[in-house]
Chain A
Amino acid sequence: MSTRTFGARIERNVDPKLLRGEGAFVDDIPLPDALHVAFLRSPHARARINSIDTKAAKANPGVVAVYTSDDIGALDIEMPLLIPHPSMTNPQTQRPLARGDVHYVGQTVAMVVAVDRYVAEDATALIEVDYTPLPVEMDMAKALSDGAPLVHATVPNNLAAHFVQTSGDPDGAFAAAEHVTKITVQVDRSTAAPMECRAVAARWEAVTGELTMWDGTQAPISVRGGLASVFGIDEDKVRVIAPDVGGGFGQKVLLFYPDELLVPMAAMQLGRPVKYIEDRRENFIGSSQERTQIHTIELAALKSGEVIGLRDFFLHDTGAFIPYGIAVAQVASTSIAGPYRIPNIFVEFKAVYTPTVQVTPYRGCGRPQACFALERAMDQLAQELGLDRFEIRRRNLIADHQFPYAREGLLFADGLKVTLDSGQYARALAMAATELGAEDFATVQAKALSEGRYLGLGLACYVEGTGLGPYEGGHVKIHPITGKVYVNTGLSTQGQGHDTVFAQIVADQLGVSPQDVIVVEGDTKAFDWGVATFASRAAVVSGNAIHKTAITVRNKVLQAAANMLDIDVESIELRDSAAWVKGSNRFVPLAAIATASNPLRYAFNKAAQAATQFAPSSKHDGPPLAEGEVPGLEATDYYSPSQSTWAYGVHAAIVEVDPGLCTVKIRKYVCIHDCGNMINPMLVEGQVMGGIAQGIGGALYERLDYQADGNLANASLMDFLVPYATEIPDVSILHLETPSPLNPLGVKGVGEAGCIAVGAVVASGVEDALRPFGALKFRQVPLSPTMIADALEQVRH
C-alpha cells in the first residue's frame, strides 16, 4: 500500500466484529459467579432521611449484602470536584449513597448486591426508608430569590457559581449603538441517551491484590487514578478497561458515578465479581443531563447591521450537584459571539442548583445554547433593520485574513484565551445559500403559500472550540512476528472509529495497510498516560501524538532497513509492509526489520533465526544492543496543543409547518462544515450526521419533563422522544477543509459539531414559515406543537 490513506473513505476495522455480534460491551464480559447490583433511589426531589431499615431486604433469598451510607466506611465521602474554578462558592458534589438528605429524584440511597438483578431489584423494594419531604423550587429565577427552598441547606439562594467575562469595551459599544435588539431565549433539559446505558463490573484478585474494573467510561485512565486514590491501592494494581462502549456523548465522562466506587468496593468485600448494569430508567434519573439555560442577549448594532457589541446574561441549571464545575456554562459564555467579529462582549452567568440530576457536558456542552441565543438575536436584528438573514451574517463574519482572531478577556474551557485559528466563514455561508437554493426561496415560498402550504427558511452559523488539552500520547510498535503495527493511546472509543482513523495516520508513515494497524485503547494496562475522550479532541490530540510517534518509528525503520539492505536511507521507500530500495525489486519485510532490530537468543521461528547472536545478519561490533539503543521498532510520544482548534459551520433548512396539526417537517437540510483536514470523510460525515440527528431531537422532540415536585415524568424512551429514522430527513453535508495551522495534521475536532446549530435553524425556519400569521416568536427549544398552537392562538385573538 503506497497510496496515502489520510483523507480516504476507508471502511472501519472494527465493523466486522460489531456486525457479527462479537462486540464486548461491559455486560458481555464473562464473569462467572458474578453478583449483581441494584440501587434504591430517592422518590423525592428533596427530603430528609430519618431512618433506613434494610432488615427485610437482607433476609430476601438470594441477597448477599445491602449497603447504606453507614456501611461503606471510607467511601462515605463527597465525590471529587473534577474541575475547580474560583467562580464557585461552596461547590457541592454527591456522596455515593445519600447521607441525611436527598437532593433529586433518582439519587442513590442504598445498594443491594444479590445473585441476580431480578432478586436485587426485589430487595430494593423491601428497604424501608422514612423520609420527611421538603419543599422544592424548580424555576431557576425563583430559586435564586431570598426565601426560596434550598437544594443544599448550606448554599444560600441556590447560587452555585457566578461568573463575568468581558472582552473589549461593551459599555462603549452600547453607547455608540444606532440600534439595540434584545431577546430572551431558553433551551430545555435533555439527555444523551446512549443506546448502551452505563455499566460497571469489577473483579478483585485477593491473591495478587489486583482490582480490575470494566467501565463503560470515556475516561478509563482518570477513573484508574481516582480508584487508586480512593481505595489506597497502587496504580499498578488497578486496571480499568473501557471495552466496547455503546455511545457516550459526554454522559460517560464523569467520574465518579456512585456505582464506579461501590461496585469495586463490593467486589473487594465479597470476594466475587460484581456487576452493575444501569437500566434505561436509571439512565434517565441517575446519569448526567444538560442544556437548560435561559439567555437574555442584547446586540448593539449600526444601521448597516454591523454588530459592535454584545451583552448576555444567562441562568445555567447545574442540577443538584456541580462535579464538573462550570465547564458547560463557561463553554456557552465563550462561544457566545460565534463566528462574528463582535469586538465588545460582556457575558455573565449564574449557575443555579435545582433538585434534579446533575448537569455535566452532553454533546455540544453549552454551544447549542449559545448558538441558539446568538442566532435568534441575529434573526431578530435582521428583521428589525430590514436586512436579509444571510446578509446580516455576511456583514459580521470574521474575514479569512483576520485569523487568528482573538477575544481578549474570554477564557475558554482550557483556561486559554479564545482564539479562532482559521476558517473560510463567508465561503461557508455562500455555499449554504447556494446548496439550499436561498435565492429562489422567496418564489418557492410564495407558490407554496398560494397552495396553502407554509414553508420557511431557517439558518444558523456556529463555531466549536475543539481539541482541548492538556495532552494525549501515542505508542507505536511493529510486531516482529506478524509485521503488523500495534498502536495505543490513552482514550476510549464510543463508536467514533478511532481504530480506523488512527490506523490511517500510522499506515501512511509506515507503508502498511490500515487493516494491518491494530489500535488498542481504553485499557490502562495497554497505555496509561492520557486524559479522556471529550471535547471533540481525539483526532486533534491523540491523532497528532500518534502521528509524531509514527514518524519516529518510520525513521527507525528506514535506518534499520538501510543497514540491512546496505544502502543509504534516502534510497529506501516504505510500502506494502516492506522497505524497498527505490526503483528496484530489492526489499525487506517490516516483520524482518522488526525481528532484526530485536537481538534474540532463541530461534523460535524462521525469521527469528536471522536475529540470533550466531546469525550472520546480526554480526557487528559491540554488544548486540548498542548503548542507548532500544530493541524493536517502537516509540512513544505525546502531543499537547497550544490552544483549541476552532471548527465551524453553517446549517440551513427549509421547513414546512402545518398550522392545523402544529407539526414541523424538515423538507431540506444543508450542512456546510469545516473541521480542517479530514482523515476519513466518511467518518466525518457520520459524526456530523449523528450530531444533526441529535440536534433535531433537541430542536423538536427531546425534553426532560420535570414536574413541579421534581419528579421526571418521562423517564423512558417511550415518553422521551429520541428520533427514529422516520423523524430524520435527508441531509446534504458539504465540506470545506481549512487546515488548522496549530497542529501537524491540520485537523480540528468534529464530534460535537452537528448538534450545535439545529435548534436555531429550526426555530428560525418555523418563524419564517408562520410569518403570514404575523410576527410569531419562537424562542425556546424543543419547539413543540403546543408552542406553535399557543403562538397561533395569540395572534388569532
Chain B
Amino acid sequence: MTRMMKGTTPVRSADAQTEVELTVNGEVVRRIVSLRMLLSDFLRHELGLTGTHVGCEHGVCGCCTVLIDGKPGRSCLTLAVQANGYQIRTIESVASADGTLHPVQQAFKECHGLQCGYCTPGMVMNILGRFEEKEPLDLSDDGIRELLSGNLCRCTGYLNIIAAVRRAAELLGRTA
C-alpha cells in the first residue's frame, strides 16, 4: 500500500471558535472550542473524560447524562459553549479518589445492574442526580421505573437496575 505524505500546511477546520470556562468535576477548565462542539465531545475528546458515553446523539438513550449544576442533563444535546460558566459533574467524579465505589455504583455491582457497561455511566449520573436533589424519592417499583425512564439499557432488561436503585437507597439510608 502506498503512503501519501501530506504537505506541510496543516489541515484545519474553518469552524468559528470561542473560549469557554466551566467547572468540571470541581476543576475550572478553559479551552478554545468550536462553536458547534457538543458538550459530550468536549468532555470526551478535549478533556479526556471518556466515561461519558454517546449512544444516540439525539437525546433519547441517556448514555451521555452528566450533572449540569447538579441536575441530570444530556451532554449530547448541549453545546460546550452553552455550558460556559456551569458546574459539570461526570462519572469520573463519583467514586472516591482511591477508587472506592460510591454506594450507587456499589449497588449496581451487587445487583448485577450492568452488562456491557455502556449505558451505565449515564444511568449512575441520572440516579445520583436524583438522589442528591434532596427531593422526596418515590422508591416504589413504578417510581423507580419512572426515575429510570430517560435511560435505555439494551443488555440487562432493567430489573437488576431497579434492584440497584433500591439497594443504593438502602446503602444511603434513604427511605423516600
Contact = CB atoms under 8 A, between A and B. Distances in A.
Interface string B39-56: 000001000111111111
B11 A63 contact: yes
B134 interface: no
B117 A246 contact: yes
A614 interface: no
Given A195-B119, A717-B61, A730 B159 contact: yes
Best-surrounded residue of A15, A19, A693 (most CB of chain B within 10 A)? A19
Interface string A20-37: 111111011010000000
Interface in B146-163: 146, 148-162
B83 to A, nearest CB: 17
B27 to A, nearest CB: 16
B174 interface: no
Contacts of A728: 157-159
B57 interface: yes
B15 interface: yes
A783 interface: no
A115 B3 CA distance: 18
B141 interface: yes
A14 interface: yes
A496 B115 contact: yes
Nearest to B92: A21
A11 B95 CA distance: 18
B120 interface: yes
A731 interface: yes
Contact of A247 (B56, B60, B90, B118): B118
A196 B53 contact: yes
B161 to A, nearest CB: 7
Interface stretch (A145-153, A157-165, A576-584, A684-692): A684-692
Interface in A218-277: 231, 244-247, 249, 265, 268-271
A690 B155 contact: yes
Interface residues of A, number: 71
B112 interface: yes
A18 B114 contact: yes
B15 A119 contact: yes
B129 interface: no
Contacts of A23: 51, 117-118
Interface in B92-128: 92, 94-95, 99, 101, 105, 108-110, 112, 114-121, 124
A497 interface: yes
A195 B101 contact: no
Contacts of A196: 53, 55, 116, 118
B11 A62 contact: yes
Contacts of A271: 3-6
A724 B3 CA distance: 48
B2 A694 contact: no
B55 A269 contact: no
A193 interface: yes
Contact of A682 (B112, B148, B149): B112
A151 B57 CA distance: 32
A15 B108 contact: yes
Interface residues of B, dominant DSSP: loop
Interface string A656-693: 00000000000000000000000000110110011111
A20 B154 contact: no
A86 to B, nearest CB: 36
A686 B99 contact: no
B121 to A, nearest CB: 5
A27 B11 contact: no
Contacts of A192: 154
Contacts of B11: 61-64, 114-115
A27 B50 contact: yes
B145 interface: yes
Interface in A113-149: 114-116, 118-119
Contacts of B156: 686, 689-690, 693
Nearest to B106: A19
A265 B1 contact: yes
Contact of B112 (A27, A204, A686, A716): A686
Contacts of B37: 118
Given A11-B110, A23-B117, A64-B11, A195 B152 contact: yes
A694 B114 contact: no
Nearest to B37: A118
B109 A20 contact: no
Contacts of B3: 204, 206, 268-271
A194 B154 contact: yes
B34 interface: yes
Contact of B157 (A119, A194, A692): A692
Contacts of B52: 21
A194 B99 contact: no
Best-surrounded residue of A16, A268, A731 (most CB of chain B within 10 A)? A16
Contacts of B150: 724
A119 B13 CA distance: 7
A730 B4 CA distance: 58
B58 to A, nearest CB: 6
A37 B161 CA distance: 35
Contacts of B63: 195
A279 interface: yes
Contacts of A689: 156-157, 159-160
Nearest to A695: B157
Interface in A724-750: 724-726, 728, 730-731
Contacts of B146: 726
Nearest to A496: B115
B128 to A, nearest CB: 12
Contacts of B148: 724-726
A386 interface: no
B162 A725 contact: yes
B145 A722 contact: no
Contacts of B152: 195, 717, 722, 724
A495 B51 contact: no
A269 B92 contact: no
Contacts of B36: 118
Given A194-B154, A246-B118, A690-B155, A19 B13 contact: no
B145 A726 contact: yes
Nearest to B153: A195
Interface in A2-16: 11-12, 14-16
A231 to B, nearest CB: 7
A718 interface: yes
A658 B130 CA distance: 33
A612 interface: no
Given A21-B52, A726-B149, 8 more contacts: A20-B92, A21-B94, A23-B51, A62-B15, A115-B11, A196-B55, A268-B1, A725-B144
20 contacts: A16-B105, A20-B94, A25-B118, A62-B12, A62-B13, A115-B11, A118-B13, A195-B63, A195-B119, A195-B152, A246-B55, A246-B118, A247-B115, A269-B1, A270-B3, A271-B4, A497-B115, A692-B157, A694-B157, A724-B152
Considering the complex of A and B, which 8 residue pairs feature the smallest CB-CB distances, nearest first? A21-B51, A495-B116, A246-B118, A18-B117, A693-B157, A495-B115, A21-B91, A28-B50
Interface of B: 1-6, 11-15, 34, 36-37, 44, 48-58, 60-61, 63, 90-92, 94-95, 99, 101, 105, 108-110, 112, 114-121, 124, 141, 144-146, 148-162
Interface of A: 11-12, 14-16, 18-25, 27-28, 30, 61-64, 114-116, 118-119, 192-197, 204, 206, 231, 244-247, 249, 265, 268-271, 279-280, 494-497, 682-683, 685-686, 689-694, 716-718, 722, 724-726, 728, 730-731, 754
